[in-house]
C-alpha cells in the first residue's frame, strides 16, 4: 500500500470519552488496528481518498457505485488533479488494464446499494497487493457482522453508519477502519475539513452497535424468507437477492459473507404501474429512501422503474412481511 507523507498529526479532538470507546469497538468489529467516526458516510469517503491521494495520482474504481460516490469521483476529484478510471468489476483483466504507474488506490463497494450486486474482491485484493496499491472497500450494506473486508485484503473499510451500524434511522455518521497510520491521516483531513461527529450522535451509534449482531442476524433471516417466497409469485418476474442461487453473484457472496443482508429487490411483471400500486398498498413497509433500520422500508419507485422495487427488510415477523406484500400484490 502506498501512502504519501503519512505520519502523526498534532491536531486532536476535544476530550470526549465516548469517541475513543466506540472507535475501539468498531476496530474490533472490523479486525483492524484503528477506526474513526466522521460526520457522514460521504465524509468518510472524501477524507479517506484525500488522505491517500495527491494531485497527479490515479484512482481505479468499480463501475458499480452509489450515485453520491460516483458524483464525488467524477466531479470533485478531477478538480484537485486526481484522475479516475471506472472498471467493470466482473472483468478481472479490466482491473489490471486500468492500472497505471501513478495508480495509488482501488475503490469498490460491495454489496452494491440498491442493485444487490456483489463484487468478487479476492482477485482485486491480489492485484492491489502485487502492485502496492491501497484497496478501499465500502461495505456499508453488509455491516461487519456479515462481511469483514480486512480478512480478504482490504486496507481501508468504509461504512455509512446511518444504516446497519446505528440501526435506528436517527443518526448521520461515517466510519473509516484500517491501519493506525492511515486512520491518523484520515483524522487529520477530517479535523481540517470540519467533518467531526456530534458527541450525541456518537452515543446513539454506540447504542445501535450494541444490538448490531442480533439485528443483522434477524434481517438476514427475514430477507431470505421474503426472497424465497417472492421467487414463487406469478406477479413477480425476478427477485434480486444474493442469498438466492438465482442471483448472478450468489457464489461470490457465499464465499465472502456470513449472511446475505437485509436488502433485496423485486421486479414486478406489470412494470412501473404495478410497482407504484404495490408501494401505495403496503401497510407494514414504510416509504423511505433509507436502509438498514429496524423497520422494513420500501423505496419510492420512479416512472421509469421498469417494475423494480427496492426493499430494506427489518425486524418484523417474516410471515407478517410476506402477508403484507401478498395483499399488496393482490
Rounded CA separation 155/182 (Å):
9
pLDDT per position as a tens digit, 282-328: 999 999 989 999 999 999 887 667 899 999 999 999 999 999 999 99
| φ/ψ of residue 85, rounded to 5 | -120, 130
- What per-residue confidence (pLDDT) applies to 79? 97
Could you give the 3-state DSSP secondary structure of residue 291? coil
**Using an 8 Å Cβ cutoff, are 39 and 197 in contact?**
yes
Statement to judge: residues 59 and 205 lie in one domain: yes
Looking at 163, 189, 210, which one is the last position of a domain?
Answer: 210
Tell me the torsion sign for CA atoms 54, 133, 157, 113.
positive
Rounded CA separation 274/224 (Å):
23
Statement to judge: residues 85 and 134 lie in one domain: yes
Give domain status of residue 10, yes or no. Answer: no
The residues of the chain scoring below 50 in pLDDT are 1-14
**Using an 8 Å Cβ cutoff, are 272 and 282 in contact?**
no
Statement to judge: residues 219 and 296 lie in one domain: yes
User: Whole-model pTM?
Assistant: 0.93
Statement to judge: residues 205 and 223 lie in one domain: no
User: The domain containing residue 259 runs over which residues?
Assistant: 213-329
pLDDT per position as a tens digit, 1-44: 444 444 444 444 445 677 899 999 999 999 999 999 999 999 99
Statement to judge: residues 150 and 225 lie in one domain: no
Pairing mode of beta strands 58-62, 83-87: parallel
Statement to judge: residues 130 and 55 lie in one domain: yes
Statement to judge: residues 184 and 218 lie in one domain: no
Give domain status of residue 148, yes or no. Answer: yes
Rounded CA separation 258/113 (Å):
18
- Percent of the chain at pLDDT exceeding 70: 94
**Using an 8 Å Cβ cutoff, are 26 and 209 in contact?**
yes
Give domain status of residue 101, yes or no. Answer: yes
Tell me the torsion sign for CA atoms 14, 20, 26, 32.
positive
Give domain status of residue 56, yes or no. Answer: yes
**Edge-first strand listing for the sheet containing 263-268:** 236-240, 263-268, 308-312, 297-298, 286-287
Statement to judge: residues 137 and 280 lie in one domain: no
Looking at 162, 192, 210, which one is the last position of a domain?
Answer: 210
Looking at 210, 230, 254, which one is the last position of a domain?
Answer: 210
Identify which of 20, 244, 57 has the alpha carbon closest to the alpha carbon of residue 134: 57
- What per-residue confidence (pLDDT) applies to 2? 44
Statement to judge: residues 105 and 229 lie in one domain: no
Statement to judge: residues 198 and 265 lie in one domain: no
The cell for 2 is 502506498
Give domain status of residue 25, yes or no. Answer: yes
**Using an 8 Å Cβ cutoff, are 302 and 290 in contact?**
no
Number of structural domains (the chain) is 2
Amino acid at each position: 500500500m502506498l501512502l504519501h507523507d503519512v505520519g502523526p498529526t498534532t491536531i486532536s479532538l476535544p476530550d470526549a470519552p465516548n469517541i475513543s470507546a466506540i472507535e475501539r469497538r468498531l476496530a474490533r468489529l472490523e479486525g483492524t488496528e484503528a477506526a474513526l467516526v466522521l460526520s457522514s458516510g460521504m465524509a468518510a469517503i472524501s477524507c479517506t481518498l484525500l488522505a491517500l491521494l495527491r494531485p497527479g495520482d490515479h484512482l481505479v474504481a468499480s463501475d458499480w457505485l452509489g450515485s453520491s460516490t460516483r458524483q464525488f469521483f467524477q466531479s470533485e476529484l478531477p478538480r484537485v488533479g486526481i484522475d479516475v478510471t471506472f472498471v467493470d468489476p466482473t472483468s478481472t483483466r479490466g482491473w489490471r488494464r486500468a492500472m497505471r504507474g501513478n495508480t495509488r488506490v482501488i475503490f469498490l463497494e460491495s454489496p452494491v446499494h440498491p442493485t444487490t450486486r456483489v463484487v468478487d474482491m479476492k482477485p482485486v485484493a491480489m492485484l492491489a497487493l502485487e502492485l502496492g496499491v491501497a484497496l478501499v472497500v465500502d461495505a456499508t450494506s453488509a455491516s461487519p457482522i456479515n462481511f469483514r473486508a480486512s480478512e480478504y485484503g482490504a486496507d481501508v473499510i468504509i461504512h455509512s453508519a446511518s444504516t446497519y451500524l446505528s440501526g435506528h434511522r436517527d443518526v448521520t455518521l461515517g466510519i473509516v477502519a484500517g491501519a493506525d497510520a492511515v486512520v491518523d491521516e484520515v483524522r487529520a483531513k477530517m479535523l481540517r475539513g470540519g467533518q467531526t461527529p456530534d458527541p450525541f450522535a456518537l452515543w446513539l451509534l454506540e447504542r445501535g452497535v450494541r444490538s448490531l449482531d442480533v439485528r443483522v442476524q434477524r434481517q438476514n433471516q427475514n430477507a431470505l424468507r421474503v426472497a424465497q417466497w417472492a421467487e414463487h409469485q406469478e406477479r413477480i418476474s425476478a427477485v434480486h437477492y444474493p442469498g438466492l442461487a438465482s442471483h448472478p453473484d450468489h457464489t461470490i457472496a457465499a464465499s465472502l459473507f456470513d449472511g446475505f443482508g437485509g436488502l433485496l429487490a423485486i421486479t414486478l411483471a406489470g412494470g412501473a404501474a404495478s410497482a407504484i400500486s404495490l408501494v401505495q398498498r403496503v401497510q407494514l413497509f414504510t416509504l423511505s429512501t433509507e436502509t438498514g433500520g429496524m423497520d422494513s422500508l420500501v423505496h419510492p419507485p420512479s416512472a421509469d422503474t421498469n417494475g423494480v422495487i427496492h426493499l430494506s427488510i427489518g425486524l418484523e415477523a417474516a410471515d407478517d412481511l410476506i402477508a403484507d406484500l401478498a395483499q399488496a400484490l393482490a
